[in-house]
Chain A
Amino acid sequence: METIISIKPLLAVLVSLLVTPILVSSRASNVRESWTFVAAGLKFLIVASMVPAVLHGSQIVYTIAEVFPGVAIKFRVDALGMLFALVASSLWIITSAYSIGYMRGLDEHSQTRYFVFFALALSATIGVAFSANLLTLYLFYEMLSFATYPLVTHHQDREARSSGRKYLLYIVGTSIGIVLPAMLVTYNLTGTLDFSMHGVFSGTEPRATIVVLLLMLVLGFAKVAIIPLHSWLPAAMVAPTPVSALLHAVAVVKVGAFSVIRVITGVFGIDLLSRLHLGTLIGYLAAFTVIVASLIALSQDGLKRRLAFSTIGQLSYIVLGVALLSPKGLIGGMTHIAMHAFGKITLFFCAGAIFVATGKKNISEMVGIGKRMPITMTAFLIGSLSVIGLPPTGGFFSKWYLVLGTLQAHQISMLVVLLASSLLNAAYFLPVVYKAFFCTEQEAMFPNTVQEAPLWCVVPLVVTAIGSIVLFFYPTIFLNLAKLAIGV
């Protein structure tokens, strides 16, 4: 495997930081927002420019500083990181457009602050994707926690404050209280924190130590929202919808899932975990989360809350897939990062568009909305199909691989969980769509005239919906990256 030393990963991280002074200084909103696009576009281009090398099997590395003996703040772009970075950076461009529509549509306050911290959050996300070791990952993970706090609490009212507290309590509490000591113990045992295929452990450590560290590192990255550390996610829905869309369907939560994948594949290593039969332990935690979150989602009337619980369930799909420790399961888990991202961001965009156009937040108030906002609700249908895992959407692919993974690992109980959860997904999404289009004249809550949200809102959600369909026909790039990541 070839190793290329290049500053590109650092640039990819920093490019959004570099525009923040411009964002702060410009008073004119048009100038500010065009700089956001420049940053987002540049970030995507820098990330994309590294794709050929990565597909070629090379790794791109860049070391900032060696801070402890054997541990540096260091970037390494490999296939898995590239997969995640591609998803995050491409969706940032679309979300920026959507943000403009949403924030202007609602005439929100403090838009400059909003765009600045959004840019910071994306920096941190790409940083996580390209981290070469656990310490660097932790650094950007924390940066993301603090950068998203002002976004989550954007409204600055009492509800935002209490949600913000919950957010910090769960996210920062676990990272300092659980991940940090686990990381320190790992470092003191092994002398390294670098991710590698075979993990950092020699395999001679006592099983109990490995089990405890594994649980600490999987649960401690609470952004992955495994029950019982999930309740920050519904609380964080108090944020403006574009924040929920990008951060709580793509960046923040996927950073959690990504960290868990890194922990399982890079810190412990598939070999060690399958030798000690520890995959099942994590698998059961994830399976429990999948089912319980789906059941809770059924009972939620707030559209964003329903989406939040759906996200909790879907994140555990990723964990479950990886915890199967079988090649197909790993591919399924990794590609699910991308597939779920496109589906779920569409759904959040739709929820936001409905709110901008009608001011409605609850599903019970959306009967007949399909007649008023047909484009939005069609996109909603496509997004739902993708999350449920039905063709012709990208979600079908990842779920297909997940199912194959359970068979490969001979985990029939997990297969049952996946299938049951798909039914539950259908049960909590499809009625929304059904009620939106098919209702009697008496039930309909909206006049029969078509009136969509502003164009800045509608175009992005159409793009991501089309993206979900395109991923069904052309999933190659993400599939290849995932295959490269596990070395098949």
Chain B
Amino acid sequence: MSAHYPTLLVTVPLLSAFVISAAGWVNKRWCFPIAVAALGVSAYSCVGLLLKVADGGVVHYRLGGWPPPWGIAYYVDQLNALVLCVVSLAALINLIAAKKSIEREFPEKTAPFYTLYVLFVTGMLGITVTGDAFNLYVLLEIGSLTGYGLIAMGDKARAPLSTLNYLYMGTIGACFYLLGVGYLYIVTGSLNMADIAHLLPPLYHSKAVLTAFIICLVGVWVKMAFFPLHGWLPNAYTFAPSAASSLIAPLMTKVMIYVMIRLILTVFTPQFAFGTLLVSKPIVWLAVAAIVMGALLALKERDVKRMLTYIIIAEVGYMVGGAWLGNRAGMTGAILHIANDALMTLCVFLAVGCIVYKTKGARFEDIQGLFRKMPFTMAGFVVGALSIIGVPPTCGFFSKWYLISGAIQAGQYGFMVALLFSSLVSVVLFFRIFEIAYYEPFQDHHGETHTHHASLMDEAPLGMVVPLLIVAAGLVVMGLYTGGIVSHVIRFVIPKGLV
């Protein structure tokens, strides 16, 4: 059984999508348990894989027994095992948390929603597990198309247009990636990543290879909303239903970062990406721009969810910059941040989901007095916020530490300053929310009339708050296990040549 983990984690949710769809015609109540079971199998397989490859092993898996480069090969090392675990667990927790809001937001369409949901997760997991550059494109389209569907189910007035915009941009990004893969196929005649990597070194000075790399990179950047290619993201994530945005926001951008790192480390080599190409410095400066602009754009928003979308754009800058610092600490930070950022984004989006469930909106006017009304939700939100700010012992601090260390070692002080700046702006961003939720409506005559407010607690359902608090606790646990994750997992991913 455990030998088939790599395929189980993709095929089970894929097939369950059909079952859910069919079950929806019979009895809508069956959809949710089927989806949970399918994602549960995925998550179980992913954790099993991570345990298997921790401390140095890798898993090769041939779909249908066809040998590469003709058949599709799945390839699991520490890098994607970690991402797989994060993706599957985040998707599972979010699914459980989202049940209430799905049933309330579109009671008629629960079956399609769950179908799209598991298909999206299939796409994300597939992208991560595959060792085939073209297969990656196919799964990317599965993930993207279902993502568009999920987002379009949101706000009736504005979601369709945002989705259309996202669809255009997303398709362009995917096409760029496909074009790049085409170039690679032309020069190497192979689509298997390991095989390409094996064939490429003599061709590194070919213009076609160079073009292929740059085009792939740009395509992936569009998909991850790397500044200035981020235009589609804020609207799409803001107007999506809570359950969809808390799924897509943590996962989509992070998985694309993974793809970028996979391209750098496995398909090409760090020597090629950081040495031959001479683009790392400009890319780090682009990342600086992403971080600074993300932070500044977030400042002007008056809606919690929308503000968070700009924070995602800044966080993408963290990871791209870290990866392109071209040293061990920076790459460690970037990979660690994939996991950490997915979890903390999930945490804050889950909290926003709870808030929206109760207040019907997350505009700054809606969140007044929330610390009194929804103390547990806000507690989870505070932990997520502290992690985004980068306060120990939450995990956000530790990846930021590696990123800044990398910046210092690479002499990229601009990147270091940008990271610190974004931390400080995050303090402002989140404490502005805390202030509104804490002070307003103002209690100018203190000491009087407070007792009347005391019992106005109006918390979101347990099924939403408990997953949120689990994720919040997970942020601290992840933080404390940083040492273990780096020494048992990430250390093996980074080639020895990278100092």
Contact = CB atoms under 8 A, between A and B. Distances in A.
A177 B427 CA distance: 11
A161 B391 contact: no
A157 B444 contact: yes
A155 B446 contact: yes
A149 B442 CA distance: 17
Contact of B447 (A69, A109, A180): A109
Contacts of A69: 483, 487
B416 A181 contact: yes
Contacts of B438: 150, 153, 156
B175 to A, nearest CB: 41
Contact of A110 (B408, B442, B450, B480): B450
Nearest to A109: B450
B451 A109 contact: yes
A68 B442 contact: no
A285 interface: no
Interface stretch (A182-190, A291-299, A316-324): A182-190
A135 B483 CA distance: 14
A143 B438 CA distance: 19
Nearest to B481: A65
Interface string A124-144: 000000000001001100110
A241 to B, nearest CB: 14
B393 A157 contact: no
A64 B424 contact: no
Contact of B435 (A65, A107, A161): A161
A156 B391 contact: no
Interface in B263-322: none
Contact of B386 (A68, A146, A164, A185): A146
Given A64-B480, A157-B446, A176-B420, A184 B404 contact: yes
A356 to B, nearest CB: 12
A106 interface: yes
A173 interface: yes
Given A160-B439, A180-B420, A184-B408, A135 B444 contact: no
Nearest to A138: B392
B395 to A, nearest CB: 10
Most buried by B among A73, A139, A176: A176
A185 B408 contact: yes
B246 interface: no
A168 B427 contact: yes
B255 to A, nearest CB: 26
B390 A65 contact: no
Contacts of B423: 176, 180
B405 interface: yes
Contact of B482 (A67, A157, A185): A67
Contact of B401 (A66, A161, A165, A184): A184
B27 interface: no
B398 interface: yes
B206 interface: no
B435 A157 contact: no
B483 A158 contact: no
Contacts of A184: 401, 404-405, 408
Interface string B401-439: 100110011000000100010011001000100010011
A69 to B, nearest CB: 8
Contact of A156 (B409, B446, B480, B486): B446
A172 interface: yes
A139 B393 contact: yes
Interface in B177-229: none
Contacts, number: 95
Contact of A164 (B393, B435, B486, B487): B435
Nearest to A136: B392
A68 B397 CA distance: 12
Chain A contact surface mostly? helix
A38 B3 CA distance: 54
B2 interface: no
B158 to A, nearest CB: 33
Contacts of B404: 180-181, 184
A64 B393 CA distance: 11
Nearest to B445: A157
A144 to B, nearest CB: 11
B291 to A, nearest CB: 15
Contacts of B408: 184-185, 188
A67 B386 CA distance: 18
A135 B401 CA distance: 11
A234 to B, nearest CB: 20
Contact of B439 (A108, A142, A161, A185): A161
A187 B416 CA distance: 15
Contacts of B486: 68
A68 B483 contact: yes
B480 A67 contact: yes
Nearest to A71: B483
Given A146-B386, A184-B408, A188-B405, A106 B482 contact: no
Given A65-B483, A107-B447, A168 B431 contact: yes
A65 B447 contact: no
A170 to B, nearest CB: 12
B415 to A, nearest CB: 12
Given A146-B386, A157-B444, A177 B482 contact: no
Contact of B420 (A110, A142, A181): A181
A173 B439 contact: no
B421 to A, nearest CB: 9
A142 B427 CA distance: 12
B442 A135 contact: no
B447 A156 contact: no
Contacts of B443: 109, 155-157
Contacts of B444: 157-158
A273 to B, nearest CB: 24
B392 A177 contact: no
A140 B459 CA distance: 30
Interface of A: 64-69, 72-73, 106-110, 135, 138-139, 142-143, 146, 150, 153, 155-158, 160-161, 164-165, 168, 172-173, 176-177, 180-181, 184-185, 187-188
19 contacts: A65-B482, A67-B479, A67-B482, A68-B482, A68-B486, A69-B487, A72-B483, A109-B446, A109-B447, A142-B391, A150-B438, A157-B444, A157-B446, A164-B435, A172-B427, A177-B420, A180-B420, A184-B401, A184-B405
Given A106-B447, A156-B438, 11 more contacts: A64-B480, A65-B480, A67-B398, A109-B450, A153-B439, A156-B446, A157-B444, A158-B442, A176-B424, A184-B404, A185-B408
Q: Shortest 6 CB-CB distances between A and B: which pairs?
A: A109-B450, A139-B392, A66-B483, A155-B446, A65-B480, A67-B482
